[in-house]
Amino acid sequence: MNHGGEWTVKEDALAYLTVATAKLAESRFEVELQHKLAGNIWWLIVLAERSGIDIKYAVDKFFTKIDVELK
């Protein structure tokens, strides 16, 4: 959606979900997957910054929890 103004965090989140769920072409799967993964990381960083979330702290906390749960 483009309304000529700055997007809200909610609009950014919806745009991210649209990009994240787009179908990948089988003929270019590896190239498109690499691009999509990088794009997803970029979107997550943008959404974290716009929401005031320390992404490094959130990721560290997530991996610590997962590490404990997997043991």
Residue 2 predicted with pLDDT over 80: no
The per-residue pLDDT for range 46-69, each reduced to its tens digit, is 999 999 999 999 999 999 999 888
**What H or E segment, with its residue span, contains residue 45?**
helix 29-51
Q: What is the largest CA-CA distance in the chain?
A: 50
pTM value?
Answer: 0.71
Phi, psi at 41, each rounded to 5°: -60, -45
Where are the extended beta strands (E) located within the chain?
none
12 residue type, one letter: D
Domain boundaries, the chain: 27-71
- Give counts: helices (H), strands (E), the chain: 3, 0
